């Protein structure tokens, strides 16, 4: 292995830059050449490929987003698109590829693997919904953004004695909602993994109100539905004044936390090591604070589980 490529794909996440930096520096440290592929699979097909040097990744470890930019690319889902991508890689002499992204990006990596091209997936998404890792890169930063918002909303909620609903991202996973809800002391957390009961939510609100609670905070994962719809139902049933905040894309930006930067550096370097050992078709992650790697095809078939004990704890602590 003489020459590696790196690309970021799908939704961006804070810490992707730190992965790119780790891949580039680790590869150069090992006397390899590294090429950056810009605009994800779209740029791969179109040959947007440039050599990266040590200095190309200077001053990015602390920046959100991705210096390689990202894009969605429908063509890469087709055989023709994938073959065009491999042709570009061969043209540039790139023998292995590090792919940083979420679920969809991993499917692209799986497709390349099945065509015999070695690649390693690095989990870069705020949603924490990738199997084969306890944490994805960007999750911790997004979580801290949400906590900051909850704390601020809590101040105004107390002043006005209202019920606040905060809608957070996560696609079909409830991890951001659960972790942020627990850390932010929310009264109710709605996640797509567990059924909710509207009567329970109302009863809980009323109980709180009767014992003199000044405010209530309900966290709604986007995978459950719209916080606006929930707020209407609550207002209709209880007559309590409610307010809704949809946090949206602020959760995707910002300087990565120390934890995300460390994870990004460790996993980026591991991806390079695996490719150097000739191990393609792997997905890297962290489990019980140990670095792991799985067959990417098997990893994609594994379920992503939310922590049931933590979910139960959040209910116990918000009586
Ligand atoms: P994320 O990686 O954040 O989940 P997407 O689901 O948008 O984001 O996927 C990113 C890109 O990965 C897509 O635009 C597409 O180019 C590629 N991709 C997704 N699914 C497949 C697939 N089944 N086969 C090949 N490439 C895919």
CATH number (domain holding residue 202): 3.40.50.460
The per-residue pLDDT for range 156-209, each reduced to its tens digit, is 888 888 899 999 999 999 999 999 999 999 999 999 999 999 999 999 899 888
What is the total count of domains within the chain?
2
Whether 173 and 263 share a structural domain: no
Position in ligand 1 atom list of the atom nearest CA 9:
10
Q: 123 and 35: one domain?
A: yes
Pair 10, 83 in one domain: yes
Residue 310 falls within a domain, yes or no?
no
Residue 314 in any domain: the answer is no
Which pLDDT score is estimated for 270?
A: 98
Question: What CATH number is given to the structural domain containing 34?
Answer: 3.40.50.450
Same domain, 290 and 144: no
CA of residue 124 to ligand 1 center, whole Å: 13
106 and 247 belong to one structural domain: no
Is the CB of 77 inside a 6 Å radius of any atom of ligand 1?
yes
pLDDT band at 318 (very low <50, low <70, confident <90, very high): confident
Residue 306 lies in a domain: no
In this prediction, residue 237 carries a pLDDT of 94
Calculate how far, in angstroms, residue 12's C-alpha sits from the geometric centre of ligand 1: 12
118 Cβ below 6 A of ligand 1: no
Mutate to test the pocket of ligand 1, among 16, 77, 131 (most ligand atoms within 8 A of CB): 77
The three-state DSSP-derived secondary structure of 94-105 is: CCEEEEEECHHH
23-44 residue pLDDT tens: 999 999 999 999 999 999 999 9
Q: Is 25 assigned to a binding site?
A: yes
Q: Is 41 in the pocket of ligand 1 (CB under 6 A)?
A: yes
What is the 218 CA–ligand 1 centroid distance (Å)?
32
Contacts within 8 Å (CB) and 24+ apart, 198-202:
198/233, 198/237, 201/234, 202/234, 202/237, 202/238
User: Is residue 51 in a domain?
Assistant: yes
User: 315 lies in a domain?
Assistant: no
Ligand 1 pocket member 107 (CB < 6 A): yes
Q: Is 171 a domain residue?
A: yes
What residues are paired with 134 via a beta bridge? Answer: none
Domain span at 130:
3-138+256-301
**Ligand 1 pocket residue status of 111, Cβ below 6 Å:** yes
- What is the number of other CB atoms lying within 10 angstroms of the CB of residue 285? 25
146-157 tens-digit pLDDT: 999 999 999 988
Tally Cβ neighbours within 10 Å of residue 66.
24
Q: What is the CA radius of gyration of the chain?
A: 22
Structural domain includes residue 227: yes
Q: 124 and 195, same structural domain?
A: no
Q: What is the pLDDT of residues 46-75, one digit of tens each?
A: 999 999 999 999 999 999 999 999 999 999
Same domain, yes or no: 206 and 95: no
249 assigned to a ligand binding site:
yes
Burial class (CB in 10 A: 0-12, 13-18, 19+), 75: middle
- Confidence at 319, pLDDT banded by 50, 70, 90: confident
Q: Does position 214 have pLDDT exceeding 80, yes or no?
A: no
Q: Is residue 127 annotated as part of the catalytic site, yes or no?
A: yes
- Could you read off the pLDDT of 224-235 as tens digits, one per residue? 999 999 999 999
Q: Clarify whether residues 46 and 180 are in a common domain.
A: no
Catalytically annotated residue among 127, 129, 140, 260? 127
Pairing state between β 282-287 and 290-295: antiparallel
Tokens found for residue 201 = 């939510």
Q: Which of 259, 261, 296, 299 is nearest to 275 (CA)?
A: 296
Averaged over 262-285, what is the pLDDT?
97
250 is in an annotated binding site: yes
Q: In this structure, what token pair is assigned to residue 178? A: 């659960």
**Was 242 annotated as part of a binding site?**
no
- As given in the structure block, the two tokens for residue 224 are 């459950």
Give exposure, 140-176, as e/b (b: 16+ Cβ within 10 Å). bbbbbbbbebbeebbeebeeeebbbbbbbbbbebbbb
Give yes or no: residues 78 and 216 share one domain. no
Domain identity same for 202 and 285: no
Listed in sequence order, the DSSP H helices in the chain are 16-29, 40-46, 79-91, 103-114, 139-160, 175-184, 198-210, 227-238, 258-276, 296-301, 308-317
**Is 48 part of any domain?**
yes
207 lies in the same domain as 287: no
């Amino acid at each position: 292995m003489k020459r590696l490529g790196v690309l970021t794909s799908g939704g961006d996440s804070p810490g992707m830059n730190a992965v790119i930096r780790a891949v580039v520096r680790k590869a150069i440290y090992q006397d390899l050449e590294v090429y950056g592929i810009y605009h994800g699979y779209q740029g791969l097909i179109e040959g947007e490929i440039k050599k990266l040097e040590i200095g190309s990744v200077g001053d990015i470890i602390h920046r959100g987003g991705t210096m390689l930019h990202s894009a969605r690319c429908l063509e890469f889902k087709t055989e023709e698109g994938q073959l065009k991508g491999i042709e570009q890689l061969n043209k540039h002499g790139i023998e292995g590829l590090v792919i940083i992204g979420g679920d969809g990006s991993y499917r692209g990596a799986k497709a390349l693997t099945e065509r015999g091209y070695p690649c390693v997936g690095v989990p870069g998404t705020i949603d924490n919904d990738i199997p084969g890792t306890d944490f994805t890169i960007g999750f911790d930063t997004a979580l801290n953004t949400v906590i900051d918002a909850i704390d601020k909303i809590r101040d105004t909620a107390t002043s006005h004695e209202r019920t606040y609903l905060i809608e957070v991202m996560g696609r079909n996973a409830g991890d951001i909602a659960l972790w942020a809800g627990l850390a932010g002391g929310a009264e109710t957390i709605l996640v797509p993994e567990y059924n909710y009961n509207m009567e329970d939510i109302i009863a809980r609100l009323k109980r709180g109100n009767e014992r003199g609670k000044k405010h209530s905070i309900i966290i709604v994962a986007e995978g459950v539905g719209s916080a606006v719809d929930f707020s209407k139902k609550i207002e209709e049933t209880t007559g309590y004044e409610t307010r809704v905040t949809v946090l949206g894309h602020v959760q995707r930006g910002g300087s990565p936390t120390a934890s995300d930067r460390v994870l990004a550096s460790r996993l980026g370097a591991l991806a390079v090591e695996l490719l150097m050992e000739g191990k393609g078709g792997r997905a890297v992650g962290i489990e019980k604070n140990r670095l792991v790697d799985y067959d990417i095809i098997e990893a994609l078939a594994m379920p992503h589980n939310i922590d049931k004990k933590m979910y139960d704890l959040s209910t116990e602590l918000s009586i």
